[in-house]
Structure 1
């Protein structure tokens, strides 16, 4: 490896926490990071004027030359349709060194990372420990290493923004993140309504249609800010941070939570795996198991300024100790400078390869994303394949309808849901054969 390792990050876009993490890593690292996008969105254009080289990635004849110019190609992994297209087309087969980085838990539908994907890469970085718990293959476990990405700790310091804290008669609670039930608890509005007599709520993020519809049916002190690149003004005027994510959500590093903790805000969250890995209960925040516990915690914090200050201070200290640039650079230097290609790397092993021969590329990608499902779902995958091959079997149609009923996450238009795949492959004949089942029209 040269003195300055060159790394190309392949990512669909630079939205949300992932974009912040990659851009900060590229700007601050001693290694040579470039970012390559293969799904262009309007919000990404603002990054093209930075010193970081951003390209639009197309699957064409020039792809090999682009990829082979880098010492390391790192695929930012989550259940995204275009990532599976890269694997299926063999686009990454001949890169010098291939790293995957999982920004999801990887063991919960629909955000699954298949064993085939892990086998394919030389090394796998993970931002949460849960994927290792679901693996029993020692060869796969040896490839995996845990990473904490840094944040701009000095920027996210309440002491730098005290002038924004105006005297007020009511407390303010802030939420930053995905404003969709794909990640939020269905108790989201119940929590707000239970506390709105003494707390105002700020929601930072783009609400989806379902959230907007629910909010219109409620009456509460709630402000939707929408998507923003700068959350500091909203953290600055907040007294606490509430983070009611649903059980089994796909998140891992939870950058929004890390930033709020760095801002010395007391946290209330459910005791999901990701939140429990960041929060020490009653020390750096409050973890809750039930709706009533969550509401009680907010009430306790609202009534006790000393408790808010104590939790906020210890949260800040935890972030300073674990999320500094210096700590990350020590890790990154060791990891990237000592990584070498697996000489015996094989091509991606296609899940259900023989059964998929007659299907189009979008459908093949969707079936790959199901590899990590429970074995009891294998018969449903067979039914899907038969229906996409024009089967009119009642058993197949019923099995598929039950699947989408039992796994409503697969109906989402993003986050690895079926309609995310249909969005990326709108003309895919095979996927369109399943669309009515995913819509619930055949229940």
Structure 2
């Protein structure tokens, strides 16, 4: 089965997921990745090539059309990247058997247009939490039957048993920015009163608001060159995220649990789908409850060790690359004999970059000007990707009138 993946890039969690999948594929799946932009980091590009996949970087529309036409299945790796919208809407893609795999939850912005969910042969999420999202709730039964979940977050293949030496060490690894991290993280740490500083692993921008929370209770460790080594020295994984983050598979959380770290998380949908409260970790609903739970965990290292074993066993049983590769292969075999169809993406997403951005916002709730940092998926990112596009001027006029 020849699968062409249309993907903005193979960085971050998406690249990590696909490098693991390629290594777990059976012999009946051949993957070809069509990257829409030059990779900033070739680590995962090189990994999928080493595993036997092919990669084409920044093709012309004609080159992409030829690759898709020759494939059995087109798999679109979905998130709100401007270049992906451009390829779908403007490149006149040929008819195909189409599978979408969404790497955003769709529970909050960036939203997923409901019409897009019902358009392909299969639309897949990476977490069951997305099934409660607005893109799925209103679907007719026939379309809902084509929606599924295939996990994209995997633990480390090597197991680890927590030790008393590490059980009381508290750490966080991930995005050290309030776009992901909860602003209450530091309040929980201070109220818990840990004897040792809590380690925060992850790069921090020099102007980040997070740095205002420097104190003796936390230690900013910077980028983790070897995340596995860091997590093996951690007993409690303090993964307190803000409620509107758009993560789904939560790679860092799964990886930590696979090594026996016991997570403490807030009651957000993506984390709740991974952590079983009281057995593989703790899910708390408030700052007070989280601080009290952290104090209990620090005072009870034996119970933390026992729970760490359960967490590692749960991740090994439910979140392996082989399981996801087998699920995807079964879906490919299901759709491969269906008639190839063209999808009118302009009708689903809009014909202009401004409308593409708006399709992620669920309406006209937006900032009125594409100024500020061009962080991924923001209006500034879309405007930077299409400089001089007239649709943004019209968008600002409409926003000002509204």
Q: Distance in 2 between matches of 1:294 and 1:437?
A: 43
Contiguous gaps of at least 5 residues in structure 1: 381-399
Going from structure 1 to structure 2, the CA distance change for 1:107 and 1:411 (only over 3 Å counts) comes to: farther
Rounded to whole Å, the distance in 2 between the matches of 1:247 and 1:7 is: 35
Partners of 1:77 and 1:46 in 2: how far apart?
18
Q: Does residue 344 of structure 2 align to residue 347 of structure 1?
A: yes
1:367-412 C-alpha deviation (Å, 9 max, x unpaired): 3333xx2xxx4xx4xxxxxxxxxxxxxxxxxxx7xx439xx9x987
Change (3 A) 1:48 1:352: closer
- Aligned with 1:180 (options 177, 181, 202): 177
- Conserved 8 A contact 1:12-1:40: no
- Check if 1:145 corresponds to 2:145: no
The question of 1:404 aligning with 2:348 is answered no
Deviations 1:47-81 (A, max 9, x none): 33742322213343222112223212211112222
Q: Which residue of 1 aligns with 2:35?
A: 37
Q: How does 1:42-441 map to 2 (within 5 A)?
A: 42-44=40-42, 47-48=45-46, 50-51=49-50, 52-92=53-93, 94-109=94-109, 111-133=110-132, 134=134, 135-136=137-138, 137-149=140-152, 151=154, 153-155=156-158, 157-159=159-161, 171-195=168-192, 197-208=194-205, 212-228=208-224, 230-340=226-336, 341-343=338-340, 345-350=342-347, 361-370=352-361, 373=362, 377=363, 380=364, 403-404=366-367, 413-431=374-392
1:122–1:342 Cα contact (<8 Å) kept? no
Which of residues 2, 7, 30 in structure 2 aligns to 1:6? 2
Alignment CA distance shift 1:221-1:426 (3 Å): farther
In the TM superposition, residue 90 of structure 1 has moved relative to its aligned partner by 4.5
Tell me, in whole angstroms, the C-alpha distance in 2 between the residues paired with 1:43 and 1:346.
32
Following superposition, the deviation at residue 16 of structure 1 comes to 2.1
Shift of 1:175: 1.5
Describe the SS at the equivalent of 1:124. strand
Question: In structure 1, the residue corresponding to 2:181 is in which secondary structure?
Answer: coil
TM-score, normalized by length of structure 2? Answer: 0.85
Distance 1:112 1:208, change over 3 A: farther
TM-score normalised according to structure 1 size: 0.78
**Mean alpha-carbon deviation: is it higher for 7-16 or for 275-284?**
7-16
Which protein has greater RCO, CA pairs closer than 8 Å, 6+ apart?
2
Conservation of the 8 A alpha-carbon contact between 1:99 and 1:124:
yes
Query: 1:217 offset after TM fit, Å?
Result: 4.9
Does 41-50 or 302-311 show the bigger shift? 41-50
CA contact (8 A) 1:90 1:347 kept: no
Q: CA RMSD in A?
A: 3.2
Go from structure 1 to structure 2 and tell me whether the alpha carbon gap of 1:229 and 1:57 turns closer, same or farther (over 3 Å shift).
Answer: farther
